[in-house]
Structure 1
């Protein structure tokens, strides 16, 4: 069958559904049938599944003209998705097309949720299309004779590639692809990505930097103009001194009419704890919503999550309060309205969430922005400009992730074993390991067979044996089983399951939160007040509580920071606000802030494009110095420590540091000589790494980072499914190894990786350097103020939150506001 005839088959099928294929879908079909690899850039809800699934089926029809009579068994395509929640959608779309074309194709799912019985059946007879995750694909590579399973593989599609790219899961995908390319000579590789700043690089990472695949590849963009309308919920009464304390709850009544006027609404919060609070408050103030409002976040049990997703599809729920657990995938055509509570911290995340409404080609997406404090309205104004400019973040790929490489080599050694001379060219053809040297490669091989220099005396670290013919293989069954249990790169704090005393599973919670509670304490989880009875065998046993006050769990993922693009947009808005005195050309949001700006200008200034603002004042607590780089909390955390260290070299002062996305505060019991700070050019980027190292206790941060590396490499074992090792034991085991390497083996690649990742990914050292260079070119404006200014207020109250309970905090802030308003 010729290409034209094949494409006509697909066109006819689309016509039968009363659909018309988009240009990007047809372009993808054509490129695929021309044996090209590629990256498809398409927004969520635009029909990207059919863009790639259709040509995979058409290619099979071309190769097997008698496909309706004879079905050739075996795995033909793999579809990788970062989220389990996406797999059901893809399965439904794929099955529908394959069935109606009469191919007899089977479509299977294999993720962490797949029952053991189904996995065993798949091993015996693989489906034609397998929908899976990066972790499950590596598990397949760890099974005996995996080459047979993959030898007739025609295609591999990596969905939501932008999500995987900037993580170690992306490295897992790169390594798996390097192996599959060798096994299956005609493999076509395709990625699907939403818009990111570095799309060309995303294609290079996917296909390998120098590969033939890259030369024979295309970039296809779906030219679908998505209209996004951002509407800010502006409070009736504007406070002059904004603070972040109430998580936006004071605007709850503004949200109710939006929910009532809409068929279905998703309320996105940034953290699981905020999600819990909003759900509780919504139901307690509006009991009429009972049964019509639900909650969805990653720690709630799978059954409840699936029930909520289904209820959104069939429109039986009015609203769902959720976190990023509903950012991706889960295809909801009926969602009419999105409400974003608090700044989303990044443009891409905001656009992704906006796209959940009007989730059909040609429809306008409407997203409401609800500020948790007044200054967040500047973010809303900035986001509107980002939507117009289509300014989206880059995703920075990982380089030289030796921990993932060690895990991968153990995976190959567990299955059929490997010969280093065969595997080295594959590994060095990936983007992540394009710079690996022979010396580093030998170190890694030495590490998996002997356990590195300083661990040679211990047999438990000698996992891989070298057989007589030079093959590297794991022959010990116990080592093999432990390795398979630990495949993956997502290392979170140990999760405990929450259960009622009488049985009944509610969800999972991080160990570090529960470890702070004692029996009898009440906490809110999954929308219920629960009393802790006891902790037993990794289970948190609870009973329902009628107490009104409770602790809200906070998860480690709650500390989100501004992206570089978001910071830049925010600074532009600030400069706009400082330039527009008369209100001309301002957005609605900046207009609403007129009172705050007026007050800020009276007490201090609003910094312009060429100005860097420092404010100092004295209160009962001591001497405050506030700095405003507008660079996001991670950069401010590092910058605050750096500056405190450099000041202490001039005169012996100790500080407490507080920071948010706008600036940071140094608080001391003695006055800082700010003129001396300015004269000594303490914002210089010179000696940055050296000073950062000393100021931040970088060794401590690297030690924490090393725990993840130790888990990924299998240096420490996390435990069996029903008997997980406690988080504090993991930490102490990995700390012990860290100390051994620090004292006896400083050139250990994994030890060095812990420091590299701390600086590159946690402290964003590159961004830090750029912001110091920017400050170096600005005029420093130091304002000695009488009292806290509107801009400084959110930073000061943030610091108090760490010390006071929420009731005491509100009282304290009320008193502060009273004295400031005088």
Structure 2
């Protein structure tokens, strides 16, 4: 929305559109300081005043909110009486806060009332709303669900005439959105037909968003093109994190305010830490407290800080004032994400939105060039709503049963099938009702669904379709400390033994995943994935990855950029491929490269297609060769961790043997026994009321779960969600079909610069701050503090509990003077009585032999042996092997670390 900057008197927009509004609304528009309507407002207001359902697709800063609300305010002035008359639904509480401040001003000026309701709304405010409903209620999808549970609130819903859904693109592709779509049809049972207005960022399929909002009802689409107002530059920031930070600094030194977008919270913190000394930079992400975020927003708005480093928390339309320039650190992964983020710059009707993408590696650079080109051409991704999500249907059947007490199945079907999500759901509703009846959430009698006492309790804990996620502890074997926690979904979806990831700004390698704990060691000289939180796992789309492949093949860097540094870096990287005589993997060539850990499969398929192919290959190779296959997946390659006898040739044969039409069946087999499928099965079962909401998935054996739910609608939904959220079956089938008909060639080669670029190159990477010496120093300090029990195996009368650093170089018994001293773990102390007995059992004699062996090692190697024996999982045999290497200094401690790592990896098989 434009505002005058000159001090001349302000007047309302003088256009035919303005004349359509009530004079009272026009007066408030003038008072707000608007001099002209934006294109979005000029096109939307007449349609909305005419009563159309509408999808408005426009970038941030084009006045979308007022486009919807001015006509609604106009009509509210003529709609007297009690009850909610308009609902404004937003996906985030922070948007509630921002919108409320704006809406309260408009409502106050127009003598209307506004209120907000979400999970944190105080009880006294809720009571006031129940007694005297505001004209306009700002709420979230979950709080709308709660409104149906209160008898008085349901009465207020009968008066709703307008529903505005903000950031509808963000909701439409999630189960939250599917739940909301049904809730709107439940609302229509009370209010009759009401006007539906959806406000969306730029998407590739606005008509589908319209159907999501309106079902089969007619609707209009107003689409404001953004491409013509985008000025996007791609620069290469450097491969080293220090160089990248210096590049960001130079960008921040330019005049005006800058919003810096990063893809994960860890990167936000790492950049914020590096730039802290400037004094004009703040960090903003969802893990920070509300007070800290609001303070950062206010200081940025007032100009007290010049830069805000943010994650997707700033993508949605929170008002933080004028932004001169948007900086995207690393590829944004998706076209729509880049358009949304860069669109935050400018905020004037005639302003061009300026954005710079700072690429951080070869994959990252080419991906950024492709996404920037597609953004300028308005080629945004499609948003795909989760049609037929069975757990959402179960949730809403339970909600409707609670709402009505009992309801005819025919009426229930009519309500849910009016939404596009469940249009023509057929037998799915019957299957869902049968499953729910089995778990006593409802009773099905003849043609009716009847609520049970359990249904209301279930609903209180399941107002949201966002799954509860527990945290998994990350435990460092070197320091023997917990270094952080990770979300379960990240661990089960993306991690396996050997994977490298970043948390707390450091790189770690996974040694073991067991008992809700991930055991790790510091990783050096490698790159790693940044752990993803809910909503932060950003997969690169298939279309983007294919175009990156075409760009590699054609090497047409000049068509995508005129920045010398960009072209120069890309050409230098390709020269390294040429120098090694490596074929370049592309949209028409897959290369399979033998590496120490397995086979790198270079496939330009994007994360989801590559995940699909990797999982299918892993089960086929595992079945054929009787071996466990580990996988690591990126947008342009995946690594199959294989034993030495399975190489690229065997992978090529397995790939060639997959029939595209059999892929779905292979994947079901591949997923059936995985922790990921088990986790998803438990999540879906919870939403069906089949498992208690607070149950720990680890308590259930995978075999028992599959026996319980195999062949049910619960298992079918778990597969459906995994296929749609983690995989792209259609894209993978397209790649396999291309291989079969010769459009895509497959070759075998040595590990190339592209193959070794790193599976994490299409995700955020930061450099390892820990070096090898630091790891050794941490281990040394930890071992010095380890408790040991010294016990004389000569007189068998003396023992002493101490720590390693206090043990003398040559331990000696103070009673008998012997040096035959065993260095025992603290928990071995309770076994000492067994070796002091005259008569010993066979088991006790084995303990005595072990203690004597231990004491002989200490006798020959002194304190060095005590240090080795104090390590985790190191007994006499392992200590002997360590000491036999004759390693000294750091090398000695590395041998101990190697032994600890081996213990962690193998102890569960002993």
TM-score band, normalised by shorter chain: 0.7 to 0.9
Alpha carbons of structure 1 residues 654 and 436: separation in structure 2 relative to 1, 3 Å:
closer
Within the alignment, does 1:480 sit opposite 2:489 as a pair?
no
* Aligned: 1:688 with 2:663: yes
With over 3 angstroms needed to count, the CA separation of the structure-2 counterparts of 1:673 and 1:713, relative to structure 1, is: closer
Structure 1 795/441 Cα, relative in aligned 2: closer, same or farther at 3 Å?
Answer: same
1:494-527 CA distance string (max 9 Å, x none):
3699xxxxxxxxxx975659999xxxxxx99999
Match for 2:232 among 230, 233, 251? 230
Are the equivalent residues in 2 in contact too, given 1:294–1:320 (CA < 8 A)? yes
Residues 72-471 of structure 1: matches in 2 within 5 Å?
72-100=81-109, 102=110, 104-208=111-215, 211=216, 213-214=217-218, 217-223=219-225, 227-235=229-237, 248-283=241-276, 287-289=277-279, 292-420=280-408, 421-437=410-426, 439-448=427-436, 450=437, 452=438, 461-464=439-442
SS of residue in 1 equivalent to 2:87: strand
Measured in 1, the distance between the counterparts of 2:355 and 2:456 equals: 49
1:170 and 1:757, CA in 2 relative to 1: closer, same or farther beyond 3 A?
same
> Which residue number corresponds to residue 568 of structure 1?
546
Secondary structure at the aligned position of 2:66 is classed as helix
CA-CA distance at 1:47 after TM superposition: 0.6
Q: 1:678 to 1:526 in 2, by over 3 A?
A: closer
Q: Are the counterparts in 2 of residues 276 and 552 from structure 1 also a CA contact under 8 Å?
A: no
Contact 1:14/1:20 (8 A) holds in 2: no
2:61 maps to 1:45: yes
Task: Give, in angstroms, the shift of residue 149 of structure 1.
Answer: 1.2
How big is the shift at 1:575?
A: 2.7
Task: Give the RMSD, CA atoms, in angstroms.
Answer: 3.8
Give the direction of change, closer, same or farther, for the CA distance of 1:468–1:374 in structure 2 (3 Å limit): closer
Q: 1:170-194 CA deviation, whole Å, 9 max, x = no partner?
A: 1111111111122112411111111
Alpha-carbon distance between aligned partners in 1 of 2:191 and 2:709, rounded to the nearest angstrom = 40
**Other structure's SS at 1:330 match:** coil
Question: Higher mean Cα deviation, 608-617 or 313-322?
Answer: 608-617
After superposition, the C-alpha distances for 1:597-616 in whole angstroms (9 at most, x for unaligned) are 11112224464867313143
Deviation of the 1:564 alpha carbon = 2.6
User: In the aligned structure 1, how far is the partner of 2:86 from the partner of 2:743?
Assistant: 55
Counterpart position of 1:637:
611
- The whole-number CA distance in structure 2 between the counterparts of 1:485 and 1:590 is 54
**TM-score, normalised relative to structure 2:** 0.71
Q: Is the 8 A contact 1:168 1:489 kept in 2?
A: yes
SS of 1:190 mapped into structure 2: strand
User: CA separation in 2, counterparts of 1:365 and 1:3?
Assistant: 27
Equivalent-residue separation in structure 2 for 1:366 and 1:796 (angstroms): 31
Which residue is 1:599 aligned to?
576
The counterpart of 2:706, out of the listed 742, 747, 759, is 742
SS of structure 1 residue aligned to 2:333: coil
Q: Which moved more, 1:154-163 or 1:685-694?
A: 685-694
Q: Deviations over 1:333-385 (max 9, x none)?
A: 32222221221111111111111221332212222222232431112211221
Where 2:770 maps in the other structure, the secondary structure is helix
What CA distance in whole angstroms lies between the structure 2 residues aligned with 1:494 and 1:628? 34
Deviations 1:366-414 (A, max 9, x none): 2222223243111221122112211100111112222112222222333
2-structure distance, mates of 1:674, 1:651: 14
Number of aligned residues:
711
Partner SS for 2:547: helix
In 2, Cα distance between equivalents of 1:294 and 1:6: 42
SS in structure 2 at match of 1:487: coil
Q: Does 1:713 pair with 2:688?
A: yes
More displaced, 164-173 or 7-16? 7-16
Verify: 1:771 aligned to 2:741, yes or no. Answer: no
**How far, CA to CA, are the matches of 1:673 and 1:742 in structure 2?**
33
Which residue of 679, 696, 710 corresponds with 1:730?
Answer: 696
Which SS does the other structure have where 2:420 is aligned? coil
Find the aligned partners of 2:299 and 2:471 in 1 and give their Cα distance.
Answer: 27
CA–CA distance in structure 2, aligned partners of residues 567 and 762 of structure 1: 16
Instruction: Find the aligned partners of 2:529 and 2:25 in 1 and give their Cα distance.
Output: 52
Question: Does the 8 A contact of 2:115 with 2:136 survive in 1?
Answer: yes
CA distance in 1, matches of 2:449, 2:592: 65
- In 2: Cα distance, 1:79 partner to 1:273 partner: 33
The C-alpha deviation readout for 1:528-582, integer Å capped at 9, x for no partner, is 9xxxxxxxxxxxxxxxxxxxxxx999444454320233223322322331x67xx
Using CA pairs below 8 Å that are at least 6 residues apart, which structure has the higher relative contact order?
1
Counterpart mapping for 1:802-813 below 5 A: 807-808=770-771
* Greater Cα shift, 400-409 or 257-266: 257-266
Cα distance in 1 for residues equivalent to 2:644 and 2:705: 41
The one of 30, 42, 45 equivalent to 1:29 is 45
Query: How far apart in 1 are the matches of 2:559 and 2:20?
Result: 60
The alpha carbon displacement at 1:648 in A equals 5.4
Residues 74 and 125, structure 1, Cα contact 8 Å, conserved in 2: yes
- What is the distance in 1 between the residues matched to 2:283 and 2:645? 48
Contact 2:20 2:46 in 1 (8 A): no
Aligned to 1:807, the other structure's residue is in SS state coil
Asked whether the equivalents of residues 342 and 369 of structure 1 are also in contact (C-alpha less than 8 Å), the reply is yes
Unaligned runs of 5+ in 1: 65-71, 453-460, 498-507, 517-522, 529-550, 719-724, 813-822
Matches within 5 A, 1:527-566: 554-557=531-534, 558-566=536-544
Q: Secondary structure at the match of 1:131?
A: strand
The reply to whether residue 14 of structure 1 matches residue 3 of structure 2 is: no
- Residues in 1 aligned to 2:370 and 2:150: alpha-carbon distance in whole angstroms: 50
CA contact (8 A) 1:134 1:173 kept: yes
Residues 422, 259 of structure 1: alpha-carbon distance in 2 compared, 3 angstrom cutoff? same
**Separation (CA, whole Å) in 1 of partners of 2:271 and 2:314:** 16
Structure 1 residues 487 and 648: alpha-carbon distance in aligned structure 2, compared to 1, 3 A threshold: closer
Distance 1:796 1:258, change over 3 A: closer
Three-state SS of the structure 1 residue aligned to 2:346 is: coil
The separation in 1 between residues aligned to 2:730 and 2:640, in whole angstroms, is: 23
Looking at structure 1, the residues matched to 653 and 491 of structure 2 have their Cα atoms a distance apart, in angstroms, of 47
Between the aligned partners of 2:272 and 2:618, the Cα distance in structure 1 is 40
How far does residue 63 in structure 1 lie from its aligned partner after superposition?
4.9
Pair 697,163 (structure 1): closer, same or farther in 2 beyond 3 Å: same
Identify the residue that residue 476 of structure 2 maps to in structure 1: none
Q: 1:467 to 1:114 in 2, by over 3 A?
A: farther
Q: Compared with structure 1, are the counterparts of its residues 96 and 798 closer, same or farther at alpha carbon in structure 2 (3 Å cutoff)? A: closer
DSSP 3-state at the match of 1:6: coil
Distance in 2 of aligned mates of 1:494 and 1:696: 21
Provide closer, same or farther for how the CA distance between residues 80 and 584 of structure 1 changes in structure 2, counting only shifts above 3 A.
Answer: closer
Task: Find the residue that maps to 1:408 and give its secondary structure.
Answer: helix
Aligned mate of 2:639, from 658, 662, 665:
665
Q: Which residue of 1 aligns with 2:3?
A: none
